Chains A and B, each alone.
Chain A
């Protein structure tokens, strides 16, 4: 029954996954651009972000049409509302990946004051959290959502670690300050990836059980 409706819901889910895949790919490229100091690769990421923004609008429109035509209720309704909320979080995460790419471009011609280890880790972790959170939403998996949200503490840990290391470098040599502050800001932005992923997790729980969770 209501096959058309089921198909429409499936399409929205698939579009969300596509959006996540795009952001994941961008994150991977941004990571590589940072490590290899590849300016051209960074430029690709910046340009690809347009597609991510476009997808946010497309998915929003699709959800709105479903509301208008199918009048969903109960769990279907909660799911659509959650999808609507979550697209903007995914888009934000995509923006932070772009920040990483922009920093990569800026620092392409400099020598790194320290080898980049934790920042790439944050990109990986952010990607994973994004992927798992959206999975939890699509499959109405409350357990997975809660577990994914817990990973945010690791993100915070990485952020603090970077802060301490960069602080030390800045105190050591004032020439380091310029690059270090750029890296510090980048780290703060990447930490927000985790925060947005946690928001996605709470909407996944909303869709699954109908209550707002404190994660």
Chain B
């Protein structure tokens, strides 16, 4: 496991939606090539926090932010190229949201955007990127014969893997996943979970999940959010075997929602 600088260093992060404070002094580190799970009851700020890592909260007007978030040592809250950040820090959403285009065009959207397949052999290079991303997302075999058919014809689990492939195609560094399997059936969920294990070798993954067992199965580190605060953060083994805070214990034992 990498022991260099943490991928993300968060210090005293505060966030307000207008007058309401949604994040309170969040402080912790996310290590490279690990899967970090963020758990906690609904509305406690975990998705808000996740979206701050790739500045998606910028899309909401009333948001105010204070504190510091460093990505590879660089400040991403101020003075940062958001476009480049979002290329390096990709996001997969709760409900699969493929574009109403062909499977190929979905995966090629990002590379075309950033000119990743440029030069004379452009078409060939793009084909390669699309294939590589679909293979990496464990979807290629299922769709290789219908790359140019609409993405909306895929099942839910396939669509979500397509969204993963779409993100992988822009060659990110970090994958942010906001409850990626909550809309999927158990088998699709299992497929995506085993995919994550494979992906963490190359990427750093942060996953928000409502499902305690998923956090336990999948993650190396876990952070417990409660009403905007991070109550406890540590190795998943420790959190699930012997949590330090009684609130963490109550939550993961299912003794409060």
Residues of chain A having any CB pair with chain B under 8 Å: 1-2, 5, 71-78, 209-210
Contact = CB atoms under 8 A, between A and B. Distances in A.
Contact of B241 (A5, A71, A77): A77
A210 B243 CA distance: 10
A103 to B, nearest CB: 44
Contact of B249 (A2, A75, A209): A75
B249 A74 contact: yes
Nearest to A2: B254
Which range contains the number of B residues in contact with the other chain?
10 to 19
Nearest to B256: A1
Contacts of B253: 2, 72-76
Of B252, B253, B255, most buried by chain A (CB within 10 Å of CB) is: B253
Given A78-B242, A210-B242, A73 B216 contact: yes
A151 B50 CA distance: 54
Interface of B: 212-213, 216, 240-243, 249, 252-257
Contacts of B216: 73
A61 to B, nearest CB: 22
Of A2, A74, A77, most buried by chain B (CB within 10 Å of CB) is: A74
A209 B252 CA distance: 17
Contacts of B256: 1
19 contacts: A1-B255, A1-B256, A1-B257, A2-B255, A5-B254, A71-B212, A71-B213, A72-B253, A74-B241, A74-B242, A74-B243, A74-B253, A75-B242, A75-B249, A75-B253, A77-B240, A77-B241, A209-B242, A210-B242
Nearest to A6: B255
Contacts of A1: 254-257
A12 to B, nearest CB: 16
A2 B250 CA distance: 11
Contacts of A73: 212, 216, 240-241, 252-253
A77 B254 CA distance: 12
